[in-house]
Amino acid sequence: MIELSPTERIKTVTSENFISRYKESQKPVIIEQLTKDWPAREKWNVEYIKKVAGENIVPLYDSKPSTDRKHQHAPAARMKIKSYLDLLHQGENDLRMFFYNILAEAPQLTEDFSYPDIGLKLFKKLPVLFFGGKGAKVQMHYDIDLADILLCHFGGKKRVYLFPPEQTKYIYRVPFSFSSLFDIDYENPDYEKYPALRNLKGEIAELDHGDVLYIPSGYWHYIVYEDISFSMALRAFPRKPKAFSKLIYNLVVVRNIDGLMRKFIGQSWNERNERMATFNTHKKLGINV
């Protein structure tokens, strides 16, 4: 069975302790008071975002896999932020707002936070927001840019399932992508269909308003929105040559191969990769199903 332990939760941390205890060991942690002096901690809620950026039109994404010749990250819909947030209040909805660049789209929001001084060289040109309504889920994936991430959370509760890179062999990674199979429910896994999941070990982070979750580079994460909420991701890109070269490979080679094959082959490419995710996982682990 999937083995999950709670992510460590601390009040504060110095930059020296963060680097030695968490960054160098690539260990997730929830820091409760990192945002305590931010105006955002008091101001940021759904109504405030509607007031500041409600007229902006954004792409929205659902929990369905892309099919046929659609790009892997093709949006399911587009609408004004205020209309989207009103929609979330009508009940469970799987539409999510993804990678909303504050600096480009709502620069006034940058006045409400500061970049934490905890030893990470944060990239200050890409603070991005992620929104979701109650019941929304984000497929298991790791970030293509291999960044260390500070996920600053606001609003209601959100659960983040975390798995280190060494657990990849159990996750049914889809070839030419950065995600696992879409139909795996990590809250209620089908161990008969996906027996490798029985060996999976990770953590679960329960986030409340104002919490900051450190997600180390290359960590797999699966997200469940328990309430309407949103998070801001601050990123520190890899600097070591090996990790940086992998970042470039992901961006230039892997992503483009997948995009081209989807465009020219279509649904058969998607189906082939889904089959190979299961085949490769079971073959490497010696599993006969």
Query: What confidence category does residue 16 fall into, taking pLDDT thresholds of 50, 70 and 90?
Result: very high
| Alpha-carbon distances, residue 211 vs 34, 57, 136, 268 (angstroms) | 7, 28, 19, 42
Q: pTM value? A: 0.92
- Beta strand 137-141 with 128-132: parallel, antiparallel or unpaired? unpaired
- Domain around 58: 3-285
pLDDT at 265: 81
**Helix orientation angle between 267-285 and 255-264, rounded to the nearest 10 degrees:** 130
* Cα 214 from Cα 29, distance rounded (Å): 5
Query: What confidence category does residue 151 fall into, taking pLDDT thresholds of 50, 70 and 90?
Result: very high
Number of domains in the chain: 1
* Cα 165 from Cα 190, distance rounded (Å): 22
Query: What confidence category does residue 22 fall into, taking pLDDT thresholds of 50, 70 and 90?
Result: very high
The torsion defined by the Cα of 33, 21, 141 and 83, in degrees rounded to 10, comes to 10
pLDDT at 257: 79
Q: Which residue has the higher pLDDT, 277 or 240?
A: 277
The string of pLDDT tens digits covering residues 39-68 is 999 999 999 999 999 999 999 988 776 654
Residue owning tokens 């509607």: 50
* Cα 200 from Cα 219, distance rounded (Å): 13
Q: 82 — phi, psi (to 5°)?
A: -65, -35
The string of pLDDT tens digits covering residues 61-84 is 887 766 544 555 678 889 999 999
CATH number of the domain bearing residue 88:
2.60.120.650
Q: Hey, what are 281's tokens?
A: 């996982």
* Cα 184 from Cα 181, distance rounded (Å): 6
Three-state DSSP class for 242?
A: helix
The string of pLDDT tens digits covering residues 108-129 is 999 999 999 999 999 999 999 9
**245 close to 187: Cβ distance less than 8 angstroms:** no
**174 close to 274: Cβ distance less than 8 angstroms:** yes
Residue owning tokens 């889920």: 137
* Cα 80 from Cα 95, distance rounded (Å): 13
Q: 247 — phi, psi (to 5°)?
A: -60, -50
Three-state DSSP class for 165?
A: helix
